[in-house]
Amino acid sequence: MPTAIFGAVEAGAMYALMALGVYLSFRILDFPDLTVDGSFVTGASVAAVLIVDGVNPFLATAVALLVGFLAGCLTGLLHTKGKINALLSGILMMIALYSINLRIMGKSNVPLLAKDTVMTIITDFWKKLGIDEALNGIGFAPKTWGILIVMLILAFIVKFLIDLFLKTDLGLALRATGDNETMIRSFAANTDFLKVLGLGLSNALVAFSGALIAQYNGFSDVGMGIGMIVIGLASVIIGEAVFGAKNVARATLSVIGGAILYRIIVTLALRVEFLETGDMKLITALIVITALIVPKIWAQQKENQRKKRRQLEARQKEAYATKKRGEDFAAIKTDI
């Protein structure tokens, strides 16, 4: 069980990068971008093919990030310049990327067995440091802490970079575009450029996550991106429900927490005897539904409690005022 939890946290840290990308498009830009299902695989396929061809894994991952950025920009151009509905532009790009990903890989699956990847390099480097031997003394540790720690650090570095970017003039304009496009356009801001940039950055993070997941799993598959947008939304929604999202820094932190928590929930759910691997999509749907409904029920209960408290206070004040008037009237009669 502890090993499974460690694995869930490792994967959650990598999926957190994808969830941060979804956060940029859905929460910051208010754009329902379904390109995610395609760009995730694009990142995985580009990185896998380059690694198989002997390219440095870190360079291959960087190229995958860049290709994801271009995919997001194309979605933005379809919407802004092609005047295509936001939802439809994402769907069209997602469909197009399926064929593009097959072209990139040349087949439906590219294995990375016996190939140097970012994960193998991190693992080998970590072993040389000798830290694993010291930490493994606690009895329930994973085989190596390297991937877990490095991926968590990477997720938080990306989180802080996003926080800093969204505080710049360009980042504030991006946030304003999602909040009130008409208003920001009245200040002569180029909202088309901002949308294209935002979607590019979003899908760059998604492709980056896809590249890391492919190297973590040891293969790239054309179907590995199916339902990825739902997983990203689940991470965002769970994070906001559990950790809150009062400001950008808190929101991005909650997204990372939500991604890790989601993977842990799925891992624990799959260990239940009557559930199978094929039930994963159902589990995801139930998690999202729960994360959406429970906070609303909780908020409604709090509101009802506040109403009851205000009504009780109002009745107490009225009773006190009535009693006070009675005492005053009695005092007047006594004086008479």
DSSP 18-84: HHHHHHIIIIIS----TTHHHHHHHHHHHHHHHHHTT--HHHHHHHHHHHHHHHHHHHHHHHHTS--
Domain span at 333: 280-336
Query: Same structural domain for residues 138 and 92?
Result: yes
Which of 250, 271, 292 represents a domain boundary (last residue)?
271
Q: Report pLDDT for 335.
A: 59
Residues in the chain: 336
Query: Same structural domain for residues 103 and 133?
Result: yes
Query: Same structural domain for residues 323 and 294?
Result: yes
Q: Report pLDDT for 136.
A: 60
Q: State the pTM of this model.
A: 0.86
Instruction: Please list the helix, strand and coil fractions of the chain in percent, rounded to the nearest 5, in that order.
Output: 80, 0, 20
Q: Report pLDDT for 271.
A: 80
Residue 15, domain CATH: 1.10.3470
Query: Same structural domain for residues 188 and 61?
Result: yes
Q: Report pLDDT for 43.
A: 96
pLDDT per residue of the chain (336 residues) written in tens, 0 to 9: 567 788 889 899 999 999 999 999 999 999 999 999 999 999 999 999 999 999 999 999 999 999 999 999 999 999 999 999 999 999 999 999 999 999 999 999 999 988 899 999 988 888 877 766 656 655 555 556 788 889 999 999 999 999 999 999 999 999 999 988 888 888 888 999 999 999 999 999 999 999 999 999 999 999 999 889 988 998 998 898 888 888 899 999 999 999 999 999 888 887 877 777 777 778 888 888 887 788 788 888 888 888 888 888 888 887 777 777 666 666 666 655
Q: How many domains does the chain have?
A: 2
Q: Strands 109-111, 219-221: parallel, antiparallel or unpaired by DSSP?
A: antiparallel
